[in-house]
Amino acid sequence: MCGRFVILSPPEVFRETYGYPEQPNFPARHNVAPTQPVPVVTAEHGRRRFALMRWGFLPAWVKDPADFPLVINARIETAAEKPSFRNALRYRRCIFLADGFYEWRRGGGRGAAPCLIRRADGRPMALAGLWETWSSPDGSEIDTAAIVTCGANGLLAALHDRMPAILAPPNVDRWLDLREVDARAAAGLCRPCPEGWLTLAPANPRVNDHRNDDPDLLVGEAAPVAPPPPAPPTVPPAQGSLF
């Protein structure tokens, strides 16, 4: 799965990598958490577009978000059949702007050690995503998104049995090509990436608290002996404000 990620590259690097015309200026983020606004790139009518969306997918048919679970990941194996994701896989695919993600060692529980996974070449990490616009009864709209996941590769299997679908550079174009690439073909792009693409390093246990967002999170530290180490990651309330 993917429950936290980082955005470290300058905005111009993302713009050059993904080719959208907008020139947004956004700061580095070292602990992006669910329900927060996240930058993504979409393609509409063959044109790339930068957008901010709420990380937490809401299907258009949801009546009351308070009665719907927080959905931050979408399993690619079932996305084409699930009512929540079926239309998004066909018509609303996106790329999360990211440079890496955190994962906690298998077993969970108190003291689970966080790790930071990044691309070995230091380039942005193209995380496949799905998005949807949810309309409230009062007519207001929120764009929401989820990260697509697939089975873990050999490197990450010791941490978790799932990982984000990290697209190869040539497959970014195909994932965003809604006219020529159908849902079945798009799903075929989301598979475990080669182990050699990635590096894995200890992260600071302070990442467990979503309120911490600073460069020190990227540097591993020994977990304290007393008091007990922090619990696994907390997340903000499921219905937090988009901004």
> Is 94 a catalytic site residue?
no
Is the per-residue pLDDT at 221 higher than 60?
no
Quote the pTM value. 0.89
b or e along 86-125 (b: 16 or more beta carbons within 10 Å of the residue's beta carbon)?
bebbbebbbbbbbbbbbbbeeeeeebbbbbbbbbeeeebb
> Does some domain include residue 43?
yes
| pLDDT for residue 137 | 84
> Does some domain include residue 37?
yes
Tally of domains in the chain: 1
Instruction: Using pLDDT thresholds of 50, 70 and 90, give the confidence band for residue 240.
Output: very low
> Is 132 a catalytic site residue?
no
Exposure on the CB side of residue 148, measured as CA atoms within 13 A: 32
Structure tokens at 4: 């936290």
> Does some domain include residue 237?
no
> Does some domain include residue 73?
yes
| pLDDT for residue 242 | 31
What CATH number is attached to the domain comprising 138? 3.90.1680.10
> Does some domain include residue 143?
yes
d(CA 11, CA 210): 23
> Does some domain include residue 222?
no
> Does some domain include residue 16?
yes
Please answer whether residues 128 and 168 qualify as being in contact, where contact means their C-beta atoms are separated by less than 8 angstroms: no
Is the per-residue pLDDT at 243 higher than 80?
no
Using DSSP's 3-state secondary structure scheme, residue 52 falls into strand
Is the per-residue pLDDT at 228 higher than 80?
no
Is the per-residue pLDDT at 238 higher than 70?
no
| pLDDT for residue 220 | 66
Given 103, 132, 190, 193, the catalytic residue: 103
Is the per-residue pLDDT at 205 higher than 90?
yes
CA-wise closest residue to 125 among 84, 86, 97: 97
Given 2, 94, 115, 193, the catalytic residue: 2
> Does some domain include residue 14?
yes
Q: Which residues pair with 134 in a beta bridge?
A: 142
Structure tokens at 100: 């890496």
- Tens digits of residue pLDDT in 84-130: 999 999 999 999 999 999 999 865 555 689 999 999 999 999 999 99
Higher pLDDT, 224 or 175: 175
What residues make up the domain containing 88?
A: 4-217
Higher pLDDT, 168 or 106: 168
* Contacts of residue 33, Cβ cutoff 8 Å, sequence gap at least 6: 3, 4, 55, 210, 233, 235, 236
d(CA 47, CA 87): 20
